[in-house]
Chain A
Amino acid sequence: MERSSILKWILFGLSILLIVAAFLFYQHIISYLIVAFLIAYIISPLVNLAEKYQIKRTVSILVIYIIIALLLAIFFNVIIPQIIEQMIDLVHSLNEVVQEHDDINLRVLGFDGIANIIDSIESRFPQLEIHRQISFTLDEAKFNSVLNQIPLFFKSVINVASFLIVVPVIVFFILKDERKFFHYIFSCIGNRYFEFSLHLFEKIETSFGRFFRALLLETLLVTIMSIAGLLILRIPYAIVLGLIVGLANPIKYFGPFIGAVPTLLIILLGPTPDIYILYAGIMFLIVQQIDSLILFPWLVGKSMNMHPLWVLLTVIAGGYAFGILGMLFAVPVVFLIKVIVEVSHKSLKKFEII
């Protein structure tokens, strides 16, 4: 073996070691970086648009930060206290129920309407034993284990605080020096792979960017429609509940059901008459029909070339692996990998690398 090629292999090995070492060193902040890149990716088009009108990147980023801070201030001062109050009430009432009754069932929780419906079903099909199943699900140990989780949540508040401070700083620098960053990366690439990497990056950015922005727009529109519907029905906390519906919406197939649960709980536990469950259900059904018949095919459908069965299996697998967040991010992540594989294969062939 020639000396130069031995040297090349040694350098290659050292580079790999360096990458692994860097990965181990920075492993705890990788989640910060991922979130920061995601936020920067969403905000970036706005900063680029402002730059077209000769507004400096630093200025436009700061303006966007001020707007976000104002929105968050409104959110935390007006909406969050109401939610916390409602949550504390809910936990207290559940606690009382758990302590007072050995056997928990729907009547104890105040869901008389549903209990009556189940009664009538059970009278026809006694073998179903629905009440016994529900009592089993709602047993004391399970409630207590859920309640014990709450202090752990507050322990993680410190982590959340550091996250909330560090992430905006990272986002700021990513947005400000976006071009320098990419310029540096592409400058480091050897001549043989220079054009290939530019082509690959552009194709991935175009395909995934189109999909991701379409998904965001779809989520925004579903959120607005849900909030509007809940406001019309005069259901309490319409804005927050609509936000939950909207945020759960990107979870394909399961999202609409997951998103509707808090609304139904608020109607059942609050002063709103139970019949509003039906109205809310109809409203959600209309929103979902508009989404699945018009918005999704129009916005996301064209850019996402994935078979519906594959999407379904991906969502289920994501749920098993990482819970609700897994369900939310499984499809975009799998789609991104699919795009990278497809585009890389095409580009590698075009540039005669394989």
Chain B
Amino acid sequence: MPIIPKPKKKRTDVDMELVVFLKGLSLFSTLTKGERINLSRFIYQRDYKKDEIIVKKGYPNVVFYIVQNGELLIYLEHGEEQIELRRVGEKEFFGEIGIFLEEDRTASVKATMDSTLLAIPTTEFQKFIDQYPRAAAKILFNMGQVLASNILKLNNKLQTMKIEK
């Protein structure tokens, strides 16, 4: 009987599932596999239970989050009432402002179901920019596109509101 050698598993500290997941995100879709592997080393995977508060308004904006699975609610507290601003679903992100500005959180965020988030500390992202400027340029360009389209949407909303008035 021929002995079939078992394929040797390469010892690695890289979470390949995470690397594959990153490819599906608009922010990182243009990165090469090597660049995504490098980026994955800067990312923390955090699990949150339903209704667990992730950040509160006024906290320092030190981490940029991407939803790997689950759903989040961004809200403002008005007395005992919670005003819903928007929901953040799978593959969406929040906290990107912290990468560009030293501003505190402008709203609170909690999980509406058990969720897994990818957390990138802003200081770690700065280190990633320093070490992998080519990959960082692609990410920042993609992020710029997302932010610009958000601005466009807001502008349109404001114009419609003005016309309605």
Partner of A199, one of B41, B54, B60: B60
Interface size of B in residues (CB-CB distance below 8 Å)? 22
Stretch binding the partner chain, chosen from A143-151, A187-195, A279-287, A306-314:
A187-195
* Given A180-B13, A352-B56: A199 touches B44 (CB 8 Å cut-off): no
Contact present for A187 and B60 (CB under 8 Å): no
What 1/0 mask marks residues of chain A from 208 to 227 whose CB sits below 8 Å from any chain B CB? 00000000000000000000
Interface size of A in residues (CB-CB distance below 8 Å)? 18
Contact present for B48 and A51 (CB under 8 Å): no
**Which label, helix, strand, loop or mixed, suits the secondary structure of the B interface?**
mixed
A202 within 8 A of B: yes
* Given A52-B130, A52-B131: A195 touches B59 (CB 8 Å cut-off): yes
Alpha-carbon separation in the docked complex, A202 to B55 (Å): 18
Total A-B contacts with CB atoms under 8 angstroms apart: 44
What 1/0 mask marks residues of chain B from 134 to 146 whose CB sits below 8 Å from any chain A CB? 0000000000000
Q: Which of A52, A187, A198, A352 has the most CB of B within 10 A?
A: A198
**Which label, helix, strand, loop or mixed, suits the secondary structure of the A interface?**
helix
Contact present for B41 and A183 (CB under 8 Å): yes
What 1/0 mask marks residues of chain A from 319 to 354 whose CB sits below 8 Å from any chain B CB? 000000000000000000000000000010011100
Question: Which chain B residues lie closer than 8 Å to A352 at the CB level?
Answer: 56, 59
B121 within 8 A of A: yes
Contact present for B44 and A186 (CB under 8 Å): yes
Contact present for B44 and A350 (CB under 8 Å): no
Partner of B46, one of A48, A179, A194, A347: A194
Partner of B63, one of A51, A179, A198, A350: A198
Alpha-carbon separation in the docked complex, A202 to B61 (Å): 13
**Which chain A residue shows the least CB distance to B104?**
A350
Alpha-carbon separation in the docked complex, A48 to B63 (Å): 22
Q: Give the A-binding residues of B (Cβ under 8 A).
A: 13, 41-42, 44, 46, 48, 52, 54-56, 58-60, 62-63, 104, 119, 121, 123, 127, 130-131
Q: Give the B-binding residues of A (Cβ under 8 A).
A: 48, 51-52, 179-180, 183, 186-187, 191, 194-195, 198-199, 202, 347, 350-352
